[in-house]
Chain A
Amino acid sequence: GAVVSQHPSRVICKSGTSVKIECRSLDFQATTMFWYRQFPKQSLMLMATSNEGSKATYEQGVEKDKFLINHASLTLSTLTVTSAHPEDSSFYICSARDGSPLHFGNGTRLTVT
């Protein structure tokens, strides 16, 4: 089946630094990728839709200058959390579409100290 690889799985950073999370579709091309944030015991909150070769579409309330998304190729999208603060600590998950099915990465646990 289709595989989406997300890296790193865990990252701890200090306040004010930036963190980059990578999302790769390993065996299919994904023109669209999605980035989610998930709080403990809650559902998936869509942050943005990433389209290859164009600017990402952000959901209302998500700061595009803080959460930078780049989708430079059909197999790679990156999310950069800039000037991270403790409130940005969360579980970030990417997903990519292979036709109809939507496949998820294994998530990145970000902890900002």
Chain B
Amino acid sequence: QQQVKQSPQSLIVQKGGIPIINCAYENTAFDYFPWYQQFPGKGPALLIAIRPDVSEKKEGRFTISFNKSAKQFSLHIMDSQPGDSATYFCAALGGSYIPTFGRGTSLIVHP
């Protein structure tokens, strides 16, 4: 499988902080980059996604920044809340390639 490197592995912020999770990919054939949010005992839920023709996408408090030349993308969570505490996975999809996932980031938002 093509690799997607995700960092950090874990992240702790205070309520209202802006956690940032980063991912880097290798295969330039990937053309769709989603982020998933997973709560314990549940399946991952699609949070937000971006294509390489844009550099930023916002949905509510969640923003993806995309740097095509660097083959990197990141998730920013504005005004983070304790309810945002979850594991976040980035992924890369494209063509006939099997979807590739990062290793996940465990986010804790303290009240």
Q: B16 within 8 Å of A by Cβ?
A: no
Instruction: Count A-B contacts at CB 8 Å.
Output: 51
B contact set with A: CB distance below 8 Å: 1, 31-32, 34, 36, 41-46, 49, 89, 91, 93, 98-99, 101-104, 106
- Once the chains bind, are A106 and B1 in contact (CB under 8 Å)? no
User: How far, in angstroms, from A86 to B106 measured CA to CA in the complex?
Assistant: 27
Given that A1-B46, A34-B99 are contacting pairs, would A42 and B34 also be in contact in the complex, using a CB cutoff of 8 Å? no
Q: A75 within 8 Å of B by Cβ?
A: no
Task: Provide 29 A-B residue pairs closer than 8 Å at the C-beta atoms, listed in order of the A residue.
Answer: A1-B46, A4-B43, A34-B98, A34-B99, A41-B106, A42-B104, A43-B89, A43-B104, A44-B44, A44-B89, A44-B101, A46-B1, A91-B41, A93-B43, A93-B44, A95-B43, A95-B99, A97-B99, A100-B32, A100-B49, A101-B32, A101-B34, A102-B34, A102-B46, A102-B91, A102-B93, A104-B44, A104-B45, A107-B43
Q: Taking the nearest CB of chain B, how far is it from the CB of A30, in angstroms?
A: 13
Q: Taking the nearest CB of chain A, how far is it from the CB of B59, in angstroms?
A: 12
A contact set with B: CB distance below 8 Å: 1, 4, 6, 34, 41-44, 46, 49, 91, 93, 95, 97, 100-107, 109
Q: Taking the nearest CB of chain A, how far is it from the CB of B1, in angstroms?
A: 7
Q: Taking the nearest CB of chain B, how far is it from the CB of A70, in angstroms?
A: 19
When distances are taken between beta carbons in the complex, the residues of chain A under 8 Å from B91 are 102
- Once the chains bind, are B32 and A105 in contact (CB under 8 Å)? no
User: How far, in angstroms, from A41 to B106 measured CA to CA in the complex?
Assistant: 8
* Interface residue from B41, B49, B101 paired with A43 (Cβ < 8 Å): B101
